[in-house]
Amino acid sequence: MKSKGFSIASIVLMLVLCTTCTKDEAFLTPEGESSAQKGAKAVVKVQPSGDISGITDHDNINEALQNAGPGDVVQLKEGLFYLNESLVCWDFDGTLKGCG
């Protein structure tokens, strides 16, 4: 009976420990800066256009990704982006970030 209680308590403890982590420490440098931000050369911000056809937002994001250099950050500003087709970018060596 005691061993059964111990195993349930162990499982509960593991679940609590796993769900209380709020920051992914593996991708942070000692200064608290993410590894993607540390080597970044430029930050290109893309703003939503409001064009519900999806053509303008697709073209703006695609252009930013295609023109980004190694280590650059393409950051999507806050808002709603409409895409009329999938984005495909080969050999992108940077970071694509949302605003949140």
Taking CA 28 as the corner, what is the angle to CA 26 and CA 31, rounded to the nearest 5 degrees?
A: 145
What residue segments make up the domains of the chain, in order of their start? 2-97
Render pLDDT for 44-75 as a digit per residue (tens, 0 to 9). Answer: 999 999 999 999 999 999 999 999 999 999 99
CA dist., res. 59 & res. 32, Å (int): 34
Question: Per mean pLDDT, which of 36-40, 81-85, 89-93 is the most reliable?
Answer: 81-85
Instruction: Quickly state the pLDDT bin for 39 (edges 50, 70, 90).
Output: low
- Output 15 or 57, whichever has higher pLDDT: 57
Q: What per-residue confidence (pLDDT) applies to 30?
A: 46
For residue 29, pLDDT over 50 is answered with no
Burial of 68 (0-12, 13-18, 19+ CB in 10 A): buried
28: enclosing H helix or E strand: none
